[in-house]
Amino acid sequence: MAQAFFITGTDTDAGKTSVAAGLLCAAKQQGRSTLAMKPVASGCEMTDAGLRNSDALALITHSTVQLPYSEINPYAFVPAIAPHIAAQEAGVELSVADLHRAAQKVLQQQADFTLIEGAGGWRVPISATEFLSDFAIALQLPVILVVGVKLGCINHALLTAQAILHDGLELSGWVANVIDPHCARLAENIATLQQLMPAPCLAQVPYLVVANAEHVAEHLTSVVFNHTLSCLSGT
Protein backbone atom coordinates (compact mmCIF):
# COMPACT_ATOMS: atom_id res chain seq x y z
CA MET A 1 0.00 0.00 0.00
CA ALA A 2 1.34 3.42 -0.99
CA GLN A 3 2.31 5.77 1.82
CA ALA A 4 2.71 9.52 1.46
CA PHE A 5 3.69 12.11 4.06
CA PHE A 6 4.36 15.83 4.28
CA ILE A 7 7.65 16.45 6.09
CA THR A 8 8.28 19.70 7.91
CA GLY A 9 10.67 21.00 10.52
CA THR A 10 10.77 23.17 13.59
CA ASP A 11 12.95 25.68 11.79
CA THR A 12 15.33 26.21 8.91
CA ASP A 13 18.27 23.79 9.22
CA ALA A 14 16.35 21.42 11.51
CA GLY A 15 17.49 18.61 9.24
CA LYS A 16 14.36 17.99 7.16
CA THR A 17 16.26 16.91 4.08
CA SER A 18 18.73 14.74 5.99
CA VAL A 19 15.87 12.89 7.65
CA ALA A 20 13.82 12.76 4.44
CA ALA A 21 16.74 11.31 2.49
CA GLY A 22 17.35 8.85 5.33
CA LEU A 23 13.71 7.75 5.23
CA LEU A 24 13.88 7.27 1.47
CA CYS A 25 17.12 5.31 1.83
CA ALA A 26 15.61 3.11 4.55
CA ALA A 27 12.51 2.46 2.45
CA LYS A 28 14.67 1.64 -0.56
CA GLN A 29 16.65 -0.85 1.52
CA GLN A 30 13.38 -2.61 2.29
CA GLY A 31 12.60 -2.96 -1.40
CA ARG A 32 10.06 -0.15 -1.59
CA SER A 33 9.74 2.26 -4.48
CA THR A 34 10.42 5.81 -3.33
CA LEU A 35 9.80 9.34 -4.53
CA ALA A 36 10.17 12.77 -2.95
CA MET A 37 9.48 16.35 -3.90
CA LYS A 38 10.68 19.73 -2.69
CA PRO A 39 8.30 22.08 -4.48
CA VAL A 40 9.88 25.34 -3.34
CA ALA A 41 13.59 25.81 -2.75
CA SER A 42 15.76 28.87 -2.29
CA GLY A 43 19.54 28.84 -2.19
CA CYS A 44 19.84 27.21 -5.61
CA GLU A 45 22.89 27.27 -7.86
CA MET A 46 23.00 27.84 -11.59
CA THR A 47 24.33 24.84 -13.52
CA ASP A 48 24.52 23.93 -17.19
CA ALA A 49 21.17 22.21 -16.71
CA GLY A 50 19.58 25.21 -14.99
CA LEU A 51 18.95 26.08 -11.35
CA ARG A 52 19.59 23.18 -9.01
CA ASN A 53 19.04 22.84 -5.26
CA SER A 54 21.22 20.53 -3.16
CA ASP A 55 18.27 19.40 -1.02
CA ALA A 56 16.18 18.50 -4.06
CA LEU A 57 19.13 16.66 -5.61
CA ALA A 58 19.57 14.65 -2.39
CA LEU A 59 15.92 13.60 -2.55
CA ILE A 60 16.28 12.64 -6.22
CA THR A 61 19.34 10.52 -5.42
CA HIS A 62 17.29 8.35 -3.09
CA SER A 63 14.12 8.21 -5.18
CA THR A 64 13.71 5.04 -7.21
CA VAL A 65 10.98 6.66 -9.30
CA GLN A 66 12.72 9.17 -11.53
CA LEU A 67 10.97 12.30 -12.78
CA PRO A 68 12.36 15.43 -14.48
CA TYR A 69 14.02 17.83 -12.06
CA SER A 70 11.39 20.46 -12.86
CA GLU A 71 8.70 18.20 -11.42
CA ILE A 72 10.63 17.53 -8.22
CA ASN A 73 11.56 21.17 -7.62
CA PRO A 74 9.28 23.31 -9.81
CA TYR A 75 10.08 26.56 -8.00
CA ALA A 76 13.81 27.18 -7.61
CA PHE A 77 15.36 30.47 -6.51
CA VAL A 78 18.97 31.60 -6.18
CA PRO A 79 19.11 33.63 -2.95
CA ALA A 80 18.96 31.66 0.28
CA ILE A 81 16.14 33.75 1.69
CA ALA A 82 12.46 33.35 2.58
CA PRO A 83 10.63 31.78 -0.38
CA HIS A 84 8.04 34.54 -0.77
CA ILE A 85 10.75 37.20 -0.91
CA ALA A 86 12.83 35.14 -3.35
CA ALA A 87 9.78 34.60 -5.54
CA GLN A 88 8.89 38.28 -5.44
CA GLU A 89 12.42 39.28 -6.46
CA ALA A 90 12.31 36.77 -9.32
CA GLY A 91 8.93 38.01 -10.51
CA VAL A 92 7.27 34.69 -9.74
CA GLU A 93 3.87 34.33 -8.10
CA LEU A 94 3.61 31.38 -5.74
CA SER A 95 0.19 29.98 -4.93
CA VAL A 96 -1.22 26.98 -3.10
CA ALA A 97 -3.20 26.04 -6.20
CA ASP A 98 -0.06 25.86 -8.37
CA LEU A 99 1.91 23.94 -5.74
CA HIS A 100 -0.98 21.52 -5.31
CA ARG A 101 -1.16 20.85 -9.05
CA ALA A 102 2.58 20.21 -9.14
CA ALA A 103 2.38 17.83 -6.18
CA GLN A 104 -0.38 15.80 -7.80
CA LYS A 105 2.01 14.81 -10.60
CA VAL A 106 4.30 13.30 -7.96
CA LEU A 107 1.58 11.67 -5.88
CA GLN A 108 -0.01 10.15 -8.99
CA GLN A 109 3.13 8.06 -9.47
CA GLN A 110 1.88 5.95 -6.54
CA ALA A 111 5.34 5.12 -5.23
CA ASP A 112 5.33 2.87 -2.18
CA PHE A 113 6.78 5.69 -0.09
CA THR A 114 6.44 9.37 -1.06
CA LEU A 115 7.55 12.48 0.79
CA ILE A 116 6.63 16.09 0.07
CA GLU A 117 9.16 18.29 1.84
CA GLY A 118 8.35 21.81 2.96
CA ALA A 119 10.73 24.74 3.31
CA GLY A 120 11.85 26.20 6.62
CA GLY A 121 9.26 25.68 9.33
CA TRP A 122 5.51 25.18 9.31
CA ARG A 123 4.13 28.71 8.93
CA VAL A 124 6.32 29.91 6.07
CA PRO A 125 4.64 32.47 3.80
CA ILE A 126 4.61 31.91 0.05
CA SER A 127 2.76 35.14 -0.70
CA ALA A 128 1.05 37.99 1.11
CA THR A 129 -1.97 35.81 1.79
CA GLU A 130 -0.89 32.15 1.73
CA PHE A 131 1.50 29.91 3.65
CA LEU A 132 3.24 26.60 2.97
CA SER A 133 1.03 25.20 5.71
CA ASP A 134 -1.97 26.00 3.47
CA PHE A 135 -0.33 23.81 0.83
CA ALA A 136 0.01 20.99 3.36
CA ILE A 137 -3.66 21.43 4.31
CA ALA A 138 -4.65 21.21 0.64
CA LEU A 139 -2.71 17.96 0.28
CA GLN A 140 -4.32 16.45 3.40
CA LEU A 141 -1.30 14.24 4.01
CA PRO A 142 -0.21 13.09 7.46
CA VAL A 143 2.75 15.09 8.73
CA ILE A 144 6.17 14.05 10.00
CA LEU A 145 7.87 16.75 12.07
CA VAL A 146 11.66 16.93 12.22
CA VAL A 147 12.71 18.50 15.51
CA GLY A 148 16.16 20.05 15.29
CA VAL A 149 17.35 19.26 18.79
CA LYS A 150 19.15 22.27 20.26
CA LEU A 151 18.53 24.81 23.00
CA GLY A 152 14.99 26.14 22.48
CA CYS A 153 13.71 23.14 20.55
CA ILE A 154 11.06 22.23 23.14
CA ASN A 155 9.21 25.48 22.57
CA HIS A 156 9.65 25.25 18.79
CA ALA A 157 8.44 21.65 18.68
CA LEU A 158 5.39 22.16 20.89
CA LEU A 159 4.27 25.27 19.02
CA THR A 160 4.74 23.58 15.65
CA ALA A 161 2.85 20.46 16.75
CA GLN A 162 0.06 22.65 18.09
CA ALA A 163 -0.16 24.52 14.78
CA ILE A 164 -0.25 21.30 12.73
CA LEU A 165 -3.08 19.88 14.82
CA HIS A 166 -4.92 23.20 14.84
CA ASP A 167 -4.77 23.15 11.04
CA GLY A 168 -6.67 19.86 11.12
CA LEU A 169 -3.86 17.57 9.99
CA GLU A 170 -2.64 14.31 11.46
CA LEU A 171 0.77 14.53 13.10
CA SER A 172 2.02 11.01 12.51
CA GLY A 173 5.07 11.55 14.67
CA TRP A 174 8.31 13.41 15.09
CA VAL A 175 11.99 12.67 14.67
CA ALA A 176 14.50 13.99 17.21
CA ASN A 177 17.38 15.12 15.01
CA VAL A 178 20.34 16.33 17.07
CA ILE A 179 21.88 19.32 15.28
CA ASP A 180 23.90 20.76 18.18
CA PRO A 181 26.61 18.35 19.37
CA HIS A 182 27.07 20.46 22.50
CA CYS A 183 23.40 20.64 23.47
CA ALA A 184 23.27 20.67 27.26
CA ARG A 185 21.05 18.08 28.96
CA LEU A 186 20.38 16.37 25.65
CA ALA A 187 18.71 13.29 27.15
CA GLU A 188 16.53 15.44 29.41
CA ASN A 189 15.42 17.63 26.50
CA ILE A 190 14.40 14.61 24.43
CA ALA A 191 12.66 13.04 27.43
CA THR A 192 10.68 16.24 27.94
CA LEU A 193 9.62 16.23 24.31
CA GLN A 194 8.57 12.60 24.55
CA GLN A 195 6.44 13.48 27.54
CA LEU A 196 4.82 16.63 26.13
CA MET A 197 4.53 16.12 22.38
CA PRO A 198 1.05 15.05 21.20
CA ALA A 199 2.49 12.42 18.85
CA PRO A 200 5.02 9.59 19.14
CA CYS A 201 8.75 9.97 18.66
CA LEU A 202 9.47 7.93 15.54
CA ALA A 203 13.23 7.90 15.94
CA GLN A 204 16.24 9.68 17.37
CA VAL A 205 19.08 10.65 15.07
CA PRO A 206 22.28 11.55 16.94
CA TYR A 207 24.58 14.32 15.81
CA LEU A 208 26.41 12.98 12.76
CA VAL A 209 29.61 14.55 11.46
CA VAL A 210 28.75 13.06 8.07
CA ALA A 211 24.97 13.14 7.87
CA ASN A 212 24.54 11.27 4.60
CA ALA A 213 21.35 9.34 3.93
CA GLU A 214 22.90 5.94 4.60
CA HIS A 215 24.12 6.98 8.05
CA VAL A 216 20.81 8.62 8.93
CA ALA A 217 18.88 5.57 7.69
CA GLU A 218 20.67 3.39 10.23
CA HIS A 219 18.77 5.26 12.95
CA LEU A 220 15.41 5.20 11.19
CA THR A 221 14.83 1.78 9.68
CA SER A 222 13.79 -0.43 12.60
CA VAL A 223 11.81 2.16 14.54
CA VAL A 224 10.07 3.94 11.70
CA PHE A 225 9.27 1.34 9.10
CA ASN A 226 8.80 -1.75 11.21
CA HIS A 227 6.47 -0.08 13.66
CA THR A 228 5.24 3.46 13.72
CA LEU A 229 4.60 4.57 10.15
CA SER A 230 3.13 1.25 9.09
CA CYS A 231 0.70 1.37 12.00
CA LEU A 232 -0.25 5.02 11.58
CA SER A 233 -0.85 4.71 7.85
CA GLY A 234 -3.12 1.71 8.34
CA THR A 235 -0.95 -0.89 6.60
Q: Which residues form the catalytic set?
A: 38
At residue 209's C-alpha, the angle toward residues 160 and 203, to 5°, is 40
Q: CB-based contacts of 222: which residues, under 8 Å, 6+ apart?
A: none
78/113 Cα distance (integer angstroms):
29
Nearest 5 degrees, angle CA 48-CA 50-CA 53?
A: 110
Residue 52: count of CB within 10 angstroms of its CB: 17
